């Protein structure tokens, strides 16, 4: 539990009081714990066709209890709605209603996951209708789920079947506690010629050491979300280089020592920052496989009161530095380099007082779309994570009552996320299991667009 409010509404008396006052009672989210099953109960697999059959085989191989029909009295740990072969809206009716029966008896922290095709302009109208319809269904059922359950979707690209390693990697991420604060989101999976791990076998544990042998650089890692990312990358097997400004040197050294990595004091707005990072990673650790552009600043002001220094500094740190560093990394032709960058829900929905910040974060999503093909051609990729309301030291300073009202506006999960939740998404996107995911922005926002 993150704070006094969570403690109060989680206690016996507080629980009753919160209920009577109509205050939000945030559920405890199911987060990743090493060794715990990937789903907290049997998996109900709805839908027919080849993909459904392939997935049933794989899930059984993972040791899960797979059911093909709803049965009363079972508390399902996950419901998979396999709808990639649907061609008309009428086909959605039966599985949607069966899903409706199942959501009444989900285990705590259960997952609803759709597997479908993304609508495209060349689709026949009825095909496009059912494909978009699935998105509406998933995003809405996500808002109806309780007990820390979430709903997300996977889009299968051309040639992606139920045995595709990246699809299964993404499915494992969505099923597991690693996606605790990802809700109402879709990821597209395409085929890839690159090496991907065989995630079909029970022996594959996405948690074991998916980043073993990789050298990862995280900028802005002296504290906050960056430090959490560095910790999770290390947990997942990577050797970590943490980067931050010289003024944060002491905190940075502590993080590096804790993780057995190295610290690099560097202002990322320096013109040669990319080369300095490259030289450090190669010189000290022999390669550079993962870069996480996390360093970022806010200088909030209404646009009418904005001055040039506030505007320019935010664009320089959050956007222009990344552009320059990426150029250096691309020029070095690093095989399989995966870059993950931090966007923000402000860059998606806009936020009063954050024109400069939102411009920088929306810009980051543009960089992802434009840079990812070049990295994909080298066997790697680039994606963004867009955090929403994340409970950090900053949000902990907001008075308890304000925070409680804020949480009322955070629909289904009724709480902010943790830096760990952002870090889990980053580590997944940095891993070889995400090779078929490229050029995308994954929101880690508990299905809210409120955030920083
Ligand atoms: P934070 O302020 O706690 O940490 C940012 C770190 O970046 C600091 O250690 C800082 O010293 C470092 N940094 C700043 N300028 C730098 C520079 N020029 N060179 C090197 N390092 C520099 O921030 P946070 O809340 O942990 O956020 C991390 C990232 O996540 C940022 O990109 C932020 O925009 C994004 N984000 C955060 C939230 C949230 O709720 N906290 C929401 C959405 C997005």
224, 249, 291, 299: residue to mutate for ligand 1 pocket, most atoms within 8 A of CB: 224
What b/e string do you get for 241-263 counting C-beta neighbours within 10 Å, with b at 16 or more?
bbbbbeebeebbbebbeebebbb
Mean pLDDT of 352-369: 97
Q: What per-residue confidence (pLDDT) applies to 414?
A: 86
Question: What tokens appear for 86 in the block?
Answer: 């649907």
Query: Does 451 contact ligand 1 (Cβ within 6 A)?
Result: yes
What confidence score (pLDDT) does residue 258 get? 98
Instruction: Look at residue 197 in the predicted model and tell me its pLDDT.
Output: 62
Ligand 1 pocket residue status of 433, Cβ below 6 Å: no
Measured in Å, residue 414 CA sits from the centre of ligand 1 at 24
* CA–centroid distance, residue 413 to ligand 1 (Å): 24
Alpha carbon nearest to ligand 1 atom 33, residue: 296
Question: How far away, in angstroms, is 294 Cα from ligand 1 center?
Answer: 6
Say which CATH class 40-189 falls into: alpha beta
pLDDT in tens, 216-263: 999 999 999 999 999 999 999 999 999 999 999 999 999 999 999 999
Model pLDDT for residues 133-188, shown as the tens digit of each residue: 999 999 999 999 999 999 999 999 999 999 898 999 999 999 999 999 999 999 99
**390 C-beta closer than 6 A to ligand 1:** yes
Point out the catalytic residue in the list 5, 32, 181, 357: 357
Q: Which residues contact 90 (CB under 8 A, 6 or more apart)?
A: none
Q: Are 347 and 365 in contact (CB under 8 A)?
A: yes
Q: How far is CA 198 from the centre of its chain?
A: 22
Residue pair 80/113 in contact (Cβ under 8 Å)? The answer is: yes
**Average pLDDT rounded to a whole number, residues 45-74:** 94
Q: Give 42's pLDDT tier (boundaries 50, 70, 90).
A: very high
* Site to substitute for ligand 1 among 181, 182, 221, 226, most atoms within 8 A of C-beta: 226
CA 150 → CA 97, 100, 111, 173, 179, distances in Å?
18, 14, 5, 12, 9
Task: Specify the residue with its C-alpha closest to ligand 1, atom 3.
Answer: 224
Does residue 87 sit in helix, strand or coil?
coil
Rounded CA separation 412/149 (Å): 9
Q: Which residues pair with 444 in a beta bridge?
A: 387
Pocket test for ligand 1, best of 225, 361, 452 (most atoms within 8 A of CB): 225
Whether pLDDT at 410 is above 70 = no
pLDDT, average across residues 114-120: 97
Asked whether this chain's domains 40-189 and 208-444 adopt the same fold, the reply is: yes
Helix-strand-coil split of the chain, %, nearest 5? 45, 15, 40
Q: Is the pLDDT of residue 405 over 90?
A: no
Share above pLDDT 90 across residues of the chain, in percent, rounded to a whole number: 80
For the question of residue 357 being annotated catalytic, the response is yes
Domain ranges of the chain: 40-189, 208-444
pLDDT at 1: 40
pTM for the predicted model, two decimal places: 0.94
Query: Ligand 1 centroid vs 170 CA: distance in angstroms?
Result: 26
Distances (CA, A) of 59 to 69, 202, 425: 15, 9, 22
Residue 344 in contact with ligand 1 by CB distance below 6 A:
yes
The overall average pLDDT reported for the chain is: 91
- Predicted confidence (pLDDT) per residue in 190-226, tens digit: 986 555 566 666 555 554 689 999 999 999 999 999 9
Q: What is the pLDDT of residue 394?
A: 60
Q: Which of the four CATH numbers 1.20.810.10, 3.40.50.620, 3.40.50.720, 2.40.110.10 does domain 208-444 have?
A: 3.40.50.720
Lookup result for tokens 């948690």: 207
Per residue in 68-115, pLDDT (tens digit) is 999 999 999 999 999 999 999 999 999 999 999 999 999 999 999 999
- Concatenate the DSSP letters of all residues of 135-201 into one string: HHHHHHHHHH--TT-EEEEEEE-TT--TT-HHHHHHHHHHHSGGGTT--S-EEEE---SS----TTS
How far away, in angstroms, is 220 Cα from ligand 1 center? 6
pLDDT of residue 209: 86
Query: What is the three-class DSSP state of 31?
Result: coil
Residue 392 reports pLDDT greater than 60:
yes
Write down the pLDDT at residue 203. Answer: 53
CB 235 within 8 A of CB 212: no
* Residue 168: per-residue pLDDT: 92
- Establish whether residue 342 lines the binding site of ligand 1, counting it when its CB lies within 6 angstroms of any ligand atom: yes
Residue 184 Cβ contacting ligand 1 at under 6 Å: no
What's the confidence (pLDDT) of residue 327? Answer: 98
Ligand 1 near 206 CB (within 6 A): no
């Amino acid at each position: 539990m993150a704070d006094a409010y969570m403690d109060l509404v989680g206690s016996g008396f507080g629980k009753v009081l919160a209920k009577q006052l109509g205050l939000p009672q945030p559920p405890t989210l199911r987060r990743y714990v090493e060794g715990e099953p990937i789903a907290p109960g049997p998996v109900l697999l709805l839908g027919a066709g080849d993909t459904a059959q392939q997935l049933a085989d794989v899930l059984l191989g993972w040791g899960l209890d797979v059911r093909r029909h709803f049965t009363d009295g079972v508390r399902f740990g996950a419901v998979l709605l396999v709808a990639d072969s649907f061609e008309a809206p009428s086909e959605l009716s039966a599985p949607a209603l069966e899903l409706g029966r199942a959501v009444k008896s989900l285990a705590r922290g259960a997952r609803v996951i759709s597997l479908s095709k993304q609508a495209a302009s060349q689709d026949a109208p009825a095909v496009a209708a059912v494909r978009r319809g699935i998105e509406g269904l998933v995003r809405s059922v996500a808002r109806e789920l309780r007990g820390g359950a979430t709903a997300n979707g996977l889009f299968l690209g051309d040639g992606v079947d139920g045995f595709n390693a990246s699809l299964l990697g993404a499915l494992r991420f969505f099923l597991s506690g690693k996606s605790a604060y990802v809700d109402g989101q879709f990821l597209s999976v395409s085929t890839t010629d690159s090496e991907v791990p065989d995630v079909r076998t029970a022996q594959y544990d996405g948690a074991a050491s998916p980043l073993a042998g990789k050298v990862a650089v995280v900028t802005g890692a002296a504290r906050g979300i960056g430090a959490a990312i560095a910790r999770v990358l290390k947990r997942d097997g990577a050797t970590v280089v943490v980067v931050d400004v010289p003024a944060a040197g002491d905190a940075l050294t502590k993080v590096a020592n804790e993780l057995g990595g190295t610290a690099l004091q560097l202002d990322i707005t320096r013109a040669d920052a990319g080369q300095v990072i490259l030289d450090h990673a190669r010189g000290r650790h022999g390669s550079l496989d993962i870069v996480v552009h996390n360093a970022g600043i806010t200088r909030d002001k209404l646009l009418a009161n904005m001055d040039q220094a506030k505007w320019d500094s935010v664009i320089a740190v959050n956007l222009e530095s990344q552009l320059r560093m990426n150029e250096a990394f691309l020029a070095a032709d690093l095989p399989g380099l995966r870059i993950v960058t931090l966007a923000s829900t402000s860059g998606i929905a806009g936020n009063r007082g954050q024109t400069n910040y939102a411009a920088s974060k929306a810009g980051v999503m543009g960089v992802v779309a434009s840079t990812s093909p070049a990295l994909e051609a080298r066997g790697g990729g680039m994606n963004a994570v867009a955090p929403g309301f994340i409970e950090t030291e900053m949000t902990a300073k907001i008075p308890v009552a304000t925070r409680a009202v804020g949480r009322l506006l955070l629909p289904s999960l009724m709480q902010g996320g943790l830096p760990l939740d952002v870090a889990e998404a980053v580590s997944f996107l940095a891993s070889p299991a995400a090779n078929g995911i490229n050029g995308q922005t994954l929101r880690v926002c508990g299905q809210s667009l409120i955030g920083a």
